[in-house]
């Protein structure tokens, strides 16, 4: 087997996955839908899973336990902030669980999640909803190919199961 047959930087990897938490509850799964495609080495998936997939081949099944530090991070209690409702479009309904993208100090996209809202205020959490969770991944590698130059430039895969560019897609 040559190095081109295994997962590594610059490969588009397609996989089926099931994610469960410490309590054994399924948080997310691709089993009843399309598999997920990601670009290896481009921070598309959490570091602990990416590391576990390194060097694997099509057909391989990988089960890995990922601590928060290698997953969605540890929870930062200072990450919860309450902001005025008027900072959001008035016609938009805002409910807990909504994800928005704001910008950090350097102008990079920064995701934020709504944890509560009333007429005057919106409470936001800069922690990922899975921050602080130990993650259990059960993953099977379905397909593997070299990334196209455009995909490497964008930092994500295109095509089936990959990134679809929409009209309001700022990242392109």
| Shortest Å, Cβ 34 to Zn ion | 18
| Shortest Å, Cβ 10 to Zn ion | 15
* Ranges within 121-160 binding Zn ion (CB under 5 A): 154
Interface with Zn ion (CB under 5 A), residue total 1
| Shortest Å, Cβ 28 to Zn ion | 23
Q: Which residue is nearest to Zn ion (CB)?
A: 154
Pairing of strands 26-29, 36-39: unpaired
Site string for Zn ion, 5-44 (x = CB under 5 A): ----------------------------------------
> Which is nearer to Zn ion, 32 or 170 (by Cβ)?
170
> Which is nearer to Zn ion, 41 or 132 (by Cβ)?
41
Determine whether 53 is exposed, middle or buried from the number of CB atoms within 10 Å of its CB (0-12, 13-18, 19+): buried
| Shortest Å, Cβ 153 to Zn ion | 8
DSSP string, 62-126: EEEEE-GGGTT----GGGEEEEEGGGS-TTS---TT-EEEEE-TTS-EEEEEEEEE-SSEEEEE-
The answer for residues whose C-beta is within 8 angstroms of residue 2's C-beta and 6 or more apart is none
> Which is nearer to Zn ion, 56 or 154 (by Cβ)?
154
* Ranges within 79-98 binding Zn ion (CB under 5 A): none
| Shortest Å, Cβ 42 to Zn ion | 11
Residue 161 makes contact with Zn ion by CB under 5 A: no
Q: What residue has token string 């081949």?
A: 57
CB 43 within 8 A of CB 83: no
Three-state SS at 34: coil
Interface residues toward Zn ion, by CB under 5 A: 154
């Amino acid at each position: 087997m040559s190095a081109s047959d295994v997962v590594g930087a610059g490969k588009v990897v397609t996989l089926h996955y099931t994610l469960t938490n410490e309590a054994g509850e399924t948080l997310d799964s691709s089993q009843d839908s399309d598999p997920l495609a990601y670009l290896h080495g481009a921070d598309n998936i959490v570091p602990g899973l990416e590391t576990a997939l390194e060097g694997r081949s099509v057909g391989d099944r990988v089960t890995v336990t990922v601590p928060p530090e290698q997953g969605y991070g540890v929870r930062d209690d200072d990450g919860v902030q309450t902001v005025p409702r008027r900072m959001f479009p008035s016609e938009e309904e805002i409910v807990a669980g909504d994800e928005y993208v704001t910008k950090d100090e350097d102008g990079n996209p920064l995701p934020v999640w709504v944890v509560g809202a009333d007429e005057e205020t919106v409470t936001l959490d800069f922690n990922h909803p899975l921050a602080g969770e130990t993650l259990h991944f059960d993953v099977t590698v379905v397909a593997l190919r070299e990334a196209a130059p455009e995909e490497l430039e964008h930092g994500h895969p295109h095509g089936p199961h990959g990134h679809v560019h929409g009209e309001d897609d700022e990242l392109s």
